Chain A
């Protein structure tokens, strides 16, 4: 469903963030992208929806090559890719509802969005999504009144209301506490399951990634060093991705049942 072919990104400074990355993501697959800081994880995700312009290579979403699109056509394709951000990237001074509805901007005209007169079915869907993540009662609160975990859930709603085929998730748990991190990861993976969405999740926390995803990609200096099942992440593999370190504690199986009860 998503196919990257020889994707290269060289920044103006000369840093080569991505060196000919090839990657195929089938429909409905949730994969984690791990790797040290500066490995090109964020760049990879942003090259897919062209928030960062790739230097060369191709990105196919379905049959459409995103790298060749004009501005208008790119905008229409962006609607099919929901994005979730590290620091939530909610519009702090707008209400929760406005933030969720902003995911529909690609579908509604300027005046409707300017006057906040979104189609009834968008509003209904926004309430349903907020209810799904347990925030329906917060709809009229300002986004900056929410806690970190709540904000990220609004971020998830904003991405989902786009009705995307693919989720691009950039460090969703980096600023959250361990428990909230798990809840958010679980929520993202559950929602992907429910809706048959594919997702690429950048994540620093290897154990958390192993717990929830079906496939792991290890990136180091812009090159794919590992591609396989979460269970195949051995200390040796982590050493090739991150460098020498004692990995036993990191990949220890975490008992997930204790928390489900809460």
Chain B
């Protein structure tokens, strides 16, 4: 029967072309949009992991409670031994220490007095160790606008916007003013080795990158860091693994009665990240749901139109003695076949565009000048195995639902009315 129906679909294109086009379009949008949104959300989560939250993050309990203020006085101490212990217990992770702090970046004139100044967001990472992967993790080489990476202590990378505004050239000195871990005034003069721009306001506004050892020296934080970030080696973030890791670590080392004991939080617990992760996880489901509803309505309408056009055909088939149930069943099988054909076509086009956008994203940086959320400026898609089949769910389901609704007309035909219509 299927072969017979298939022949009918292929030969009578007037009854199959429009539904196939509708299904293909819907499936194309489902596949492509789910791939694109997954790509954007994935990049956003990855960016947050690389820049601020890691896959897991260790802070003191007190720092965690006040992390919005980046309070240096509540930072972790004995970081070297903490890291050593982490590598022994969790060798499949990479652990890096960072210092995050606010301050004022001051540009001197020839007399050493303030020529210009602006707020600074200090990020101290391991910039100088040859084995450090931090520079690549933060994609700093690509963000350098002028100059080069620091290659010795006392050098810094500053925001290109800041450098432009205050006419700071490579090799000039700037002074970082703020507080040390003990609350003393911190003055530390750096030589600008380069300027950077990430294309994201949140990262570029007063950004200053310094080596972690310089920061420890300037901020009286010997062997201290505001946080230790942990990254799964060569794999993306997996919430279940991060949760198991954080639970086991906190059970052993995080003491409620000691506010300076370490506490591990996973990426999903970082500010706002739980919502992003939930959206990313449910993106495919949301897309499928939206397109099933939308396409069912369109295909119901198409089915009704097709049904009207095939009114006479169904009448003749009924007059020849074919059961209403059989006609309805064949209509549904036809819908399944149309759904499969449309889904194949839509999936091919959806995957093709997703592969294209996976390799070459779309640059929205021009529209994101004042964006206060840490997200990439180039939106890329990601092709996942689920995208090969996900389109078939709305494709087939919507076609069958549309035909099932439209096919009810068959049962409404009365034999007497039928003969009258056929003028028998």
Say whether A and B bind each other.
Answer: no
Name B's A-contacting residues (CB within 8 A).
Answer: none
Name A's B-contacting residues (CB within 8 A).
Answer: none
